[in-house]
Every structure is written in structure tokens, then in C-alpha cells.
Structure 1
Amino acid sequence: MRISVVIPVYNAEKYIPQAVESALQFDDVHEVILIEDQSPDNALRVCQQLAEKYDRVKLYQHPDRKNHGAGPSRNLGIEKSTGDFVAFLDADDYFLPNRFDAEKELFKNPTVEGVYGALGVHYYSEKAKEQYYQLFGDRLTTVYKKYTPKEVFPGQIHMLGSFGLFSIDTLTLRRDALVQKMKFLFKPHLQLHEDTEFLFRLSYYLDLYPGNIDQAVAMRGVHENNRITKVDTGIVDPAVSRELLWREVDLWAGREESISEEIKIHIKRMHRSFEIAKAPTVKKWGMILKYLFTDYKSIRSGLYNINFRYSLL
């Protein structure tokens, strides 16, 4: 295997050395591609030092040297990659020694286009643990049982509570399949949940298989400056960010003729649920009355979905 590991870097000078070295422990990692995204800290200098120290580390910035976000940074990393496979890693997360064990066997089958695994949690400080333990605990982010590739897309969309989740940190893809079958990679206008939207579409276009879903193959690094902190502190309105996510999924699903009407309706109801959640109080009640008469299931299912998915997406 020749794996390109793509790492978008923003405000992560403390964590990026560990992320890079966790990827370099594998002989199958052909290159580690760092996309430095105009960090306000000293991350660029740290990345330069890593690129000087390790031959397999390649450093890039966006052509205009400005900040573009995680999605466009991953897109640039995919564009620059030269491996046969692409894996992703956030700059404050890290791989475990078993990261590619399942992949080595599964990718012997040429029909396997992607493999996903389980993600663990590492708290970088007691303060971070106190703040986010209720959200993450010590639980694995994983799919709960082994599903066929055709079950992955509807499972994520329609039965998240019993299907589970997989993380971009645990995903490995055939580069050719990714580039040839995905009409778009990461959507640049989504500043949050861009990975969730990408995974929805990816599981529709590519055949994804479960790897190690019972043990963590990578660790989510939780600290006070995670992007989730911006949501938690109210800097980013979670209802707005989720409505943008589901609006994007709704628009995409509406253009795909082969997606079943049942799933399209469910997606539209999810969109409506978060549209209601973000609305001002007066408008919210008007929308609720409208859907009570036109599609009451948007309200019934929406209340469950909002409460349940706020802790997941």
C-alpha cells in the first residue's frame, strides 16, 4: 500500500508533531501532506521544521496564503497526493499502531473502495475532560455492527441511532475511486460539518467496508480550543450550522434520481427540523403550524432528531 495522509493544519502548533509522527510510524504511509491554513499561532514554523526533518512530510499552503477552512484544505491535500490510497487526520488527533491492519487485508480485494474503523477519545487536559466528558465520554465513535456497503448510506441517513458513526480520521480510500466517482469533494462553503456532508455523499458513491470497528484505530484529541468549543460557547449557533448541513444534503439528494423517495423525504424532514430550530420564536411557531397541516411528521420526527443529533453532529 502507498498511503497519502492528508492533514489540514490550523492553530495546532502544540499537536501537529504528534499527529505527523503517528502517521510516519507506518511503512505503508508514502507521504504526509500538511496543508497549513494561515494559522494565527506558530503552526507554520512547526510544519516547516517537520518537513525539514522528515523526507516523507510535504508542506503546502493555499495559493493565496489565506485561510480557507478544513474542507478546501483537504481538497488541496487530495489534489497534491500521489499515493494509491488517501487517509485523513486532523492536526490535533493521532493514529494508533493498528490504524491500517484491517486495510492491508481488505484492500487486497479490488472492489473495496474504502474502509472505516473506530475512533477513541484522548483528553489533553483535565479542563477539557471536565468540559466535554459528558459529550464524548470514553466511548468509541463507531458503526455498531458490520454492514454491507449498500447499507452504509441509508444507515447513516435513516437509522443513525442504531447504525452508529464513523470518523474521517478512520477512513482510508482508493484515490482513483474517490477522484473518479465523487462529483465534488469537500464543500468549501461549509465551515462546520463539512466532513459529515462529505461522508454522506461518499457512502452513496463508493463501496465502503467496515475495518476494525471494535477497537480504536485513531484518537480524537479533545482540548479547550477544538472547533467544537466555538459551538459550545455560542460563537457558532449549532442550529444554524446543522440547518446549513441538512440544506446541503437536501439539495444534493434532490438532484440524485436513484435515491429512494423514502430517504429523500427523511432528508427533507431533517432539513425542516433544523430550519425550525434556528428560526426566531414567532417564525418558529408559524413554521410548526404550517408543517402540522402539510407534513406533521416533520414536527414529530424533527423533535427527536434535533435532541438526539445535537450531541452527534
Structure 2
Amino acid sequence: MNISVIIPVYNASEFLEKAVDSALPFEEVKEIVLIEDQSTDDSLEICRKLVFKDPRIKLYQHPDKGNHGAGATRNLGLEKAGCEFISFLDADDHYLPNRFDAEREIFKDQKIEGVFGAIGVEYLSEKGRKEFQDKFKNVSLTTVNFPAEGEEVLKGLLGLTSKVFGTFFHLNTLTIRKTALVKSNLRFNENLRVHQDSDFIIKLAYHCYLKSGIIDKAIAIRGVHDNNRITKIIRYSPQYNQRQFLLWKSLYEWADANPLPPDGKRKIYLTYKSFDLSLKTGFNKYFCTFLEVIKNPQILKTQYRFTYLNR
């Protein structure tokens, strides 16, 4: 295997070197692609110093040296990456020594185009710990609940399996064949300033043949600190609903253009419309409407005269 590790860099000076150092020991990692996104701290200077640390470390910026967000930054990384396999690492996170253990075996099967695993948590500040635990309780491992591959991964991510699969795996735990991304012309949605990773993962699960790897223990660690965006938004607040609406709108438009299974299209459509209604009617009405929609999906079709469900 030969792997390009893509690290988007924005205001991560405190953590960046640890992230890079965690990827260097792997023989399979042939290059580490740093994409600096106009940080306001000294991240760029640290990137420049890291380039001299190891010839595998490469530094790029956007052509205009501007700030374009995580989606565009990862896309630039995909453009610059030259290896057969792609993996991702956030600049405030790090890999564990078992990061590619599953990949070494699973990718011997040429049918497999992507492998994903579990991510753990490291608390880097007391404020970060409190915010994270307030939102996610005592969840210390982000993972899926049972092994899966192929179509079952997409169904699991959309909540369409008979058992609860888990609705997310972290981008830091994904390794994908570059040819699979080229084949499907898949990139991150640059219009999403947040949730580009969730959008990308669901689309990836449809376009590519994914298989779970190590899901019972962490293969990477998410650094939780004072400035994590994931902990700042209160669930079902207007800001949360707005961001979820944009995510599911992106997925709805994509699903409308692709021959997804009918139950997958339906789930995406109903979730998109539930957040659409939440923004139009407010939280209390949204919550009641959402419950009614889940019980009876025909409500949307009848009340708003949508025809999407019959496509």
C-alpha cells in the first residue's frame, strides 16, 4: 500500500505537529499533504518548518492564498495527493499505531474501495471536556455497532437497517482508493461550511464499496479542546436546524439525481423536509411535525403536494 494523508490546516498551531508526527511512522504513508487555509495564528509558519522535517511532508495553499473552508481545502488535497490510497486527518487529531492494521488485509480484496473504523477521544482542556460530555454524554468511542460492507453501509448510515448501525463514522478513520473517487467524480461540497464530511461519507457509501475495519477500538483520536465546532451548536437550536437543513438539502439534490434505493431516497427526502419545516414553523411545531411525519410520511405528500416519494 501507498497512502497520501491529507491534513487541512486552519488555526491548529497548538496541535499540528502532533498530528503530523502520528502519521510519519507508518511505512505505507508515502506523503503527508498539508493544505493551509489562511490561518490567523502561526500555523503556516509551523507547516513551513515541518516540510524540512521529512521529505514526505508537502505544503500547499489555495491559489489566491485565501480562506475557503474545510470542503475546498480537502478537495485541493485530493487534487494534490499522488498515492494509490487516500486517508484524512484533522490537524487537531492524531493516528494510533493500529491505524492501518485492517487496511493491510482488507484491501487485498480488489472489490473493496474503502475501509473505515472507530475513533476515540482525548480531552485537551477542561472546558472542551465539559462541552463534549454535555452534548455526547459519556460516549468515548465514535463507531458503528456491527460489521458491514457494500449497500448495508449506506442503509446503516441512513438508519434503514433492522438493527441500529450508528449514523456516522469519522473521516479520520477512512481510507479510500483514489481510483474510486475518480470513478465517481466525488468531492466535498464546498458550499457546506460545516457537515461537508457527513455529506461526503453518505455519498461515498453509495458510490463506492465500503467495508468496516476495526470498529471495537480506536484507530485514531479526536482532540477535544475549547474551540471544537462540533460542541458549540445546541441540538435543535435554530442554528443547528439551519446547518442540518443545508446538509440534507445537499443530500436531497444529490439523491434526486442518482438511482438510490427507494427507501434511501425517502429517508433523505423526509429528513430534508423535516428541517425545512423546522425553519419555517419554529422548534415546537417542527418537533411535533417531525413525529407525525415519521409515523405517517403521507403528511408531506398530502399537505404540500410533493410528488418526490413516487419517483
Q: Could you say which TM-score interval applies, normalised by the shorter chain?
A: 0.7 to 0.9
- Partner residue in 1 for 2:149: 148
> Quick one: which of 170, 174, 191 aligns to 1:171?
174
RMSD (Å), alpha carbons? 2.7
Q: 1:154 & 1:235 partners in 2: Cα distance? A: 27
- Partner residue in 1 for 2:215: 213
The answer to whether the Cα contact below 8 Å between 1:276 and 1:287 also exists between their aligned partners in 2 is: no
TM-score of the aligned structures, taking structure 2 as reference length = 0.88
Q: 1:203 & 1:246 partners in 2: Cα distance? A: 16
State the identity %.
43
The answer to whether the Cα contact below 8 Å between 1:156 and 1:200 also exists between their aligned partners in 2 is: yes
Using the TM superposition, give the Cα deviation of residue 113 of structure 1 relative to its aligned residue in structure 2, in angstroms.
0.5
Alignment of 1:105-120 (within 5 A): 105-120=105-120
Q: 1:45 & 1:154 partners in 2: Cα distance? A: 44
The answer to whether the Cα contact below 8 Å between 1:230 and 1:236 also exists between their aligned partners in 2 is: no
Using the TM superposition, give the Cα deviation of residue 6 of structure 1 relative to its aligned residue in structure 2, in angstroms.
0.1
Q: 1:226 & 1:99 partners in 2: Cα distance? A: 23
Alignment of 1:52-201 (within 5 A): 52-136=52-136, 137-159=138-160, 162-164=164-166, 165-181=168-184, 183-201=185-203
Q: 2:145 & 2:4 partners in 1: Cα distance? A: 28
SS at match of 1:190: coil
Q: 2:221 & 2:230 partners in 1: Cα distance? A: 16
Using the TM superposition, give the Cα deviation of residue 179 of structure 1 relative to its aligned residue in structure 2, in angstroms.
1.5
Q: 2:158 & 2:133 partners in 1: Cα distance? A: 26
- Partner residue in 2 for 1:21: 21
- Partner residue in 2 for 1:267: 268
Moved more, 230-239 or 81-90: 230-239
Using the TM superposition, give the Cα deviation of residue 135 of structure 1 relative to its aligned residue in structure 2, in angstroms.
2.8
Distance 1:180 1:211, change over 3 A: same
Q: 2:116 & 2:45 partners in 1: Cα distance? A: 32
Structure 2 spans left out of the alignment, 5+ residues: 301-311
How many residues align? The count is 296
Using the TM superposition, give the Cα deviation of residue 131 of structure 1 relative to its aligned residue in structure 2, in angstroms.
1.8
TM-score of the aligned structures, taking structure 1 as reference length = 0.87
Moved over 6 A (4+): 233-236, 286-289
Using the TM superposition, give the Cα deviation of residue 288 of structure 1 relative to its aligned residue in structure 2, in angstroms.
7.4
The answer to whether the Cα contact below 8 Å between 1:33 and 1:57 also exists between their aligned partners in 2 is: yes
Q: List per-residue Cα deviations over 1:91-116 (Å, max 9, x = no partner).
A: 11100000000100111111110000
Distance 1:55 1:202, change over 3 A: same
